Amino acid sequence: MTSKPSISVVTPLYNTSAYVSAFHARMSQTLQNITGSYEIIFVNDASPEDDRERVLALRATDPHLGLLDLPRNHGQHKAIFAGLRQTRGDLVFVLDADLEENPEWLPAYLEALHSHNASVVYGYQAARKGGLIEKCTGWLSYFVVNRLFKLPYRRNVVTATLMTREFTEALLASAEDRAVFSVACYRTGFPSAAVTVDKSHRGISSYSLPRRFAHFADYMVAATDRPLIWPMPIGFALCFCGAAFGLYALLHGGVNYYGRIITALVLFIGGLLMATLGTMGLYLASLLANTRPHSIARTYHAPASPLS
């Protein structure tokens, strides 16, 4: 039986062939300074570059490397979850392979994990790196999540995360098919700690504006069901405004009488339709809540005595 490594590293690959060798060298050196028992699992998310071939070449001389080859592109988050299912370590370290996130962060993460008695350690940037579009879209995303959806989610979180085996198993048990890695980690509710990191910036981001919007949509769907419920109170408010405006038009008449009545009808009927959509949203939110885990148990200490 293969002995269980103490640390597993998971990193997704997509258009990162230029960084594979450097990542392997730096990550391996960092791990060797901590333990001799480790594994590095590369997840090839159907990269169009030669990421796979480069990892296989390194694997020929390094028994610590593993390669999970996905047949098609699933996206970063699903690739991470696929890699997590292959891990065997007591601790699991997830990070990107493009070296914007430094392998040398691991010792600081380990220190935070032990000093705070945490199950998971996140990294976050004190100041977001990147160009104007990247900074603006990032700020807007966190504003919507924190202010409108009322989720206490830390700003500028990076992918790099250190987890215990206990946390990893709970995370895999609770993750949905369309799960976003950071949101799924937050939902577990395990004790956590945070480390301030200085993320590098490679220049032009591979995330286009449409891709950023798609990522935000996935994040919103994974994080909250509030947008399903909002149309109902907004619709009822429009119905009330339409009825009030119609009553005003009936009582005061005037040269714009028919125009006011039509405006009132449009407001009332539009509000009624929106309220109907909101009511349907309540049912959809209820169905969504039933498909997500109601609770996640950290441990269970069974009674010592048998039932008679």
Q: Which of 42-46, 120-124, 151-155, 266-270 has the lowest mean pLDDT?
A: 151-155
Whether 112 is in a domain gets the answer yes
The reply to whether 179 and 252 lie within a common domain is: no
- pLDDT value at residue 294: 44
pLDDT: which is higher, 280 or 217: 280
Whether 138 is in a domain gets the answer no
Whether 213 is in a domain gets the answer no
- pLDDT value at residue 199: 84
**pTM: predicted TM-score of the whole model, two decimal places:** 0.71
Return the SS3 of 98: coil
The reply to whether 182 and 257 lie within a common domain is: no
pLDDT above 50 for 295? no
For the segment 135-171, what is each residue's pLDDT rounded down to a tens digit?
666 666 666 666 655 555 566 788 899 999 999 998 8
Cα separation, 106 vs 161, in Å, equals 9
For the segment 80-92, what is each residue's pLDDT rounded down to a tens digit?
988 999 999 999 9
Q: How many CB atoms lie within 10 A of CB 39?
A: 22
Whether 153 is in a domain gets the answer no
Whether 282 is in a domain gets the answer yes
The domain containing residue 255 runs over which residues? 227-291
142 phi and psi, to 5 degrees?
Answer: -70, -30
Total residue length of the chain: 308
- pLDDT value at residue 17: 93
The reply to whether 115 and 245 lie within a common domain is: no
Beta strands 65-69 and 192-197, pairing class: unpaired
The CATH code of the domain that includes 189 is 3.90.550.10
- pLDDT value at residue 301: 42
Tokens of 288: 């969504």
The reply to whether 104 and 246 lie within a common domain is: no
CA 184 from centre of chain: 6
Whether 204 is in a domain gets the answer no
Total count of domains within the chain = 2
